[in-house]
Chains A and B, each alone.
Chain A
């Protein structure tokens, strides 16, 4: 009466379908997961995995694979490190199935070291030291052991709308005092126009500004860290920006946001202090403003100085502990960041200012008409080459830099939001950072 006899197979059928799909899936996943099989004896190339979030870095990986028969690099594009990429790398090390080579910010290297997650690659790449800019190379060296090969950094420069400055009769601001005066003139000319956006969301930017003023937040002495996020130079910087905020001379908005993009396009924001890689961003964001931009060095605290800083350091390639092929991984890391072909590709895709010492073979940094045209014919690479040389190299990254970034961003946000002094945000970050380090059992002076 229910006709069940004819319908029996339904569940069985369902089961079969499931099994079939699952089997198909298994095929997919086993094809997709990284094969390790540590045999380098046969003709098979050694396969290593490389995790990075740099857009279009696959071009460099392809170039490596094309020129190397014995090593096959498989690229995994991952979420940017601070957004979760690092946490996954660390967990994979703990679980014993890490990627071989990973993208690491200079600031993250100490974090990985305290988690015992990096392979000592001194024997594989130690000889290459002289090929790199010294301060960049040193970011990967701890206790005379090499843990990372530097890739690129973001020496800071000031992008500015030359047409706006010219039309207002403003000279390029070489000092912060002149910068302040220019800010007043620009805002007075049009209430919608500001000299720059105060990027509350951007810890690296805030750190760069402090670093340029001479701040040195972390020093290692006698097996303990000295933390001075509230040092004089930092507070001086905070007070300067406080003045601009209080007088409404800067626009408080997140950089890279859609609002900021619009402001860059329509000239409401006239300058941007940023890394060398920002040139591609400007060209992409505001193609209609071609020819109106120029680049100058950062304004100075003391007239006549030439002090620069970086956008929170830069990025390196490191080999994770537990890699089945550390030698091949290190070989790839070195090639990626020093071979002229690769460095050229990296520079072209906007990875940053190369860490190699000799940039004469990097064609992208010689003559780049399509880039220079956007800046009214200016050779902007000169500015950044100069900036790179002027970076204060004594800056040291501590463990828990991620805590530093998120605490600084949170505190600056809440100061801006609540109208409390910006300087307090740095003092609060100092307290947060000391507490976080001590919680981890790390000694603080």
Chain B
């Protein structure tokens, strides 16, 4: 990105024109939904989609959104945060430990274990979710927060990232030196290796966070009570109720707008870290 040479004006214009077009494409649905969220149910389908209607009622829609069914939407937002944050954090800890161990220890069946875990990345969610329902049902866990949380704590992709990062960023000499200093293996992992693996850890956390946040099938299969729903499931529930009460269309649209804004804000503020992960030095700090 070092602008070291003079750029031909024509190509600068062409490049930026393409980038602006792409920006319009990525923005379009978000723009539409934000505008739609300000409309009355009547105007929703009757007025031009990319401009505000004559009688905007954004506040009214918002207050309906947060008061409908006893303010359940707020609960859904909190649930989504809870599932994503807790699930991603535990997933990060578990996969960091496992990936590090696979990278730094020689043991029998190491490659087999790694291959099996990698295979887990390829298994479609539907294959897991449906049988998992029967298994967790037998354990009496379906319908509880655990039914969504526990499976979310497993990230095979995280193990794989952690292994790669441990190989790349944690030199064996450092481990040996720490051992000679008398540090135990767990202490070496907990205080030295993890610090060197920070970029991978952040990536694992964020990747899993978004995965859980976007997950639909698992909560759909596992949860019954609307009070335990994440946003995705809640909004589709409302969407299915448009068949009985068209007022729900406006709720779905406003809810989508709010959750999209929430997530985009999250992405924008977190993208710093994604970038940090992928470009910053492994031994930073």
Q: Please determine whether chains A and B interact with each other in the same assembly.
A: yes
**In the complex, what residue of chain A is closest to B191 when comparing beta carbons?**
A4
Ranked 10 nearest A-B pairs via Cβ: A11-B190, A95-B137, A262-B45, A29-B144, A4-B191, A285-B246, A29-B145, A284-B246, A77-B226, A7-B191
**A53 interface neighbour in B44, B82, B241, Cβ under 8 Å:** B241
B237/A84 in contact, CB under 8 A: no
- List chain A residues, Cβ under 8 A from B69: 58, 77
Sample of 8 A–B contacts (CB below 8 Å)? A8-B187, A15-B93, A29-B144, A56-B245, A262-B45, A266-B46, A277-B244, A288-B42
A261/B249 in contact, CB under 8 A: yes
- List chain A residues, Cβ under 8 A from B109: none
Interface: A66 (CB within 8 A)? no
A28/B145 in contact, CB under 8 A: yes
B249/A281 in contact, CB under 8 A: no
A272 CB to nearest B CB, Å: 13
Interface: B248 (CB within 8 A)? yes
B236 CB to nearest A CB, Å: 8
Interface: A340 (CB within 8 A)? no
B174 CB to nearest A CB, Å: 7
A97/B145 in contact, CB under 8 A: no
A143 CB to nearest B CB, Å: 30
Interface: A32 (CB within 8 A)? yes
B255 CB to nearest A CB, Å: 15
Interface: A280 (CB within 8 A)? yes
A20 CB to nearest B CB, Å: 10
- List chain B residues, Cβ under 8 A from A99: 224
Query: Which of A32, A95, A350 has the most CB atoms of chain B within a 10 A radius of its CB?
Result: A95
- List chain A residues, Cβ under 8 A from B192: 2, 4
Interfacial residues of chain A within 1-26, with CB under 8 A of chain B in the complex: 2, 4-5, 7-8, 10-12, 14-15, 17-18, 21-22, 25-26
Q: Given the interface contacts A10-B191, A55-B241, A91-B137, does A262 sit within 8 Å of B247 by beta carbon?
A: no
B249/A80 in contact, CB under 8 A: no
A268 CB to nearest B CB, Å: 11
**In the complex, what residue of chain B is closest to A257 when comparing beta carbons?**
B242
A10/B244 in contact, CB under 8 A: no
A79/B133 in contact, CB under 8 A: no
Interface: B183 (CB within 8 A)? yes
**In the complex, what residue of chain B is closest to A260 when comparing beta carbons?**
B45
**A265 interface neighbour in B45, B89, B143, B178, Cβ under 8 Å:** B45
B220/A79 in contact, CB under 8 A: yes
**B45 interface neighbour in A10, A92, A261, Cβ under 8 Å:** A261
Kindly state the separation between the CA atoms of A143 and B20 in the bound complex, as whole angstroms: 70
**A55 interface neighbour in B89, B142, B186, B248, Cβ under 8 Å:** B248
A53/B41 in contact, CB under 8 A: no
Kindly state the separation between the CA atoms of A34 and B144 in the bound complex, as whole angstroms: 10
A98 CB to nearest B CB, Å: 11
B146/A76 in contact, CB under 8 A: no
Kindly state the separation between the CA atoms of A25 and B195 in the bound complex, as whole angstroms: 28
Query: Could you list which residues of chain A lie within 8 angstroms of chain B, going by C-beta atoms?
Result: 2, 4-5, 7-8, 10-12, 14-15, 17-18, 21-22, 25-26, 28-30, 32-34, 51, 53-56, 58, 76-80, 83-84, 88, 91-92, 94-95, 97, 99, 256, 258-259, 261-262, 265-266, 277, 280-281, 284-288, 350
Interfacial residues of chain B within 234-274, with CB under 8 A of chain A in the complex: 237, 240-249
Mark B271-284 against chain A: 1 for CB-CB distance below 8 A, else 0: 00000000000000
Interfacial residues of chain B within 74-99, with CB under 8 A of chain A in the complex: 82, 86, 89-90, 93
Interface: B51 (CB within 8 A)? no
A54/B244 in contact, CB under 8 A: yes
Q: Given the interface contacts A2-B174, A256-B242, A262-B45, does A79 sit within 8 Å of B144 by beta carbon?
A: no
- List chain B residues, Cβ under 8 A from A10: 190-191, 194-195
- List chain B residues, Cβ under 8 A from A30: 144
B243/A256 in contact, CB under 8 A: yes
A23 CB to nearest B CB, Å: 11
A84/B241 in contact, CB under 8 A: no
Kindly state the separation between the CA atoms of A166 and B228 in the bound complex, as whole angstroms: 52
B195/A281 in contact, CB under 8 A: no
Kindly state the separation between the CA atoms of A280 and B241 in the bound complex, as whole angstroms: 13
A287/B143 in contact, CB under 8 A: no
A25/B86 in contact, CB under 8 A: yes
B131 CB to nearest A CB, Å: 11
B200 CB to nearest A CB, Å: 15
B247/A92 in contact, CB under 8 A: no
B45/A32 in contact, CB under 8 A: no
Interface: B227 (CB within 8 A)? yes
**B237 interface neighbour in A79, A94, A277, Cβ under 8 Å:** A79
**In the complex, what residue of chain B is closest to A80 when comparing beta carbons?**
B240
